[in-house]
Amino acid sequence: MRLCFTGKQINKIKNTKTSEKSLKLVFILCSIRSGSTLLTSILNSNSDIYAPHETHFTGVTYKQKTELTKRATKSLSIDKTQLKYALWNNYINQLADQNNGKIIVEKTPNNVLKWRDIESCWPNAKIIFLLRHPLSVAESWQRAKPDQEWPQIVEKINEYCSAVDAAKENIKLKNCSIKYENLTWQPEQVIKKICKFIDVPYEKQMLNYGQYNISERRFIRGLNDWSEKIKSGRIQPVKRMPKKKDTPDILRKYVDRWHY
């Protein structure tokens, strides 16, 4: 993505981390394979919310092509972080503009690895922590990536769980935590909790996400869960909860901290 700034916009970049628009933004912070596609499919069924597939906005970068560009930004006291945040904010604001100012819910799992940037870039955002039993996460990733060895999978899941844990302990943005398992067992109760947190009315149609938006959503590998389960359009209850003794040692601490 390329973004050009006018002189007036450049002056604004120096003085603000985000645009002056009243952007209503919610981030779902979670590990990979934690049910974020299900959650955003449900939320996207609410008439006040736009919850697209993963935007991967943190991959949007800029490049100072010439020495004059570097000299200009330095002279204007605009650093690389400010320019990065301006790009990200422009990306998300375009989504809001295209969807009539609806609340934007962003769920790219890699966001949890950038939680400090998110907190700095959007100090008025809200956070939903979506938790899932770490062994279930690892087993789900193994089904999605059958070519990977189990030790590699456990190491990767630990990276994400560690980031979730750090964000939960340190982030100062308004936040709430839900568990994927509870979302599937008691969907109405959990969805009402989320709607209250986001400050939107609960709509009963949210329980039937497949009826309202499955044809609009693109369940594509890399942008969402692409399994037949999610494509069914139905909230399917988790059938079993893993036992702590079966959980790899490196992941057991999250079982305790997240009260599984």
Parse the chain into domains and list their residue ranges: 7-132+179-241
Q: 203-242 burial, b if ≥16 CB within 10 A, otherwise e?
A: eeebeebbebbbeebebeeebbbeeeebeeeebeebeeeb
Tokens 């972080």: give the residue.
81
Residue 227 to residues 122, 142, 220, 241, Cα–Cα distance (Å): 32, 13, 9, 20
> What are residue 30's DSSP bridge partners?
130
pLDDT value at residue 75: 77
How far is residue 27's CA from residue 46's CA, in Å, rounded to a whole number? 16
Element (H, E) at 97: helix 80-98
Return the SS3 of 250. helix
* Nearest C-alpha neighbor of 144 from the set 236, 227, 246: 227
Q: Phi-psi bin for 236: left (phi > 0), alpha (psi -120 to 50), beta?
A: beta
pLDDT value at residue 10: 44
How far is residue 239's CA from residue 127's CA, in Å, rounded to a whole number? 28
pLDDT value at residue 63: 78
How far is residue 11's CA from residue 184's CA, in Å, rounded to a whole number? 48
pLDDT value at residue 226: 55
pTM attached to this predicted model: 0.85
pLDDT tens track of the chain, all 260 residues? Answer: 444 444 444 444 444 444 445 789 999 999 999 999 999 999 999 999 999 888 989 888 877 788 877 777 777 777 889 899 999 999 999 999 999 889 999 999 999 999 999 999 999 999 999 999 999 999 999 998 999 999 999 999 999 999 999 999 999 999 999 999 999 999 999 999 999 999 999 999 999 887 765 554 555 665 566 566 776 677 889 999 999 999 999 999 999 999 99
> What are residue 112's DSSP bridge partners?
none
Return the SS3 of 45. coil
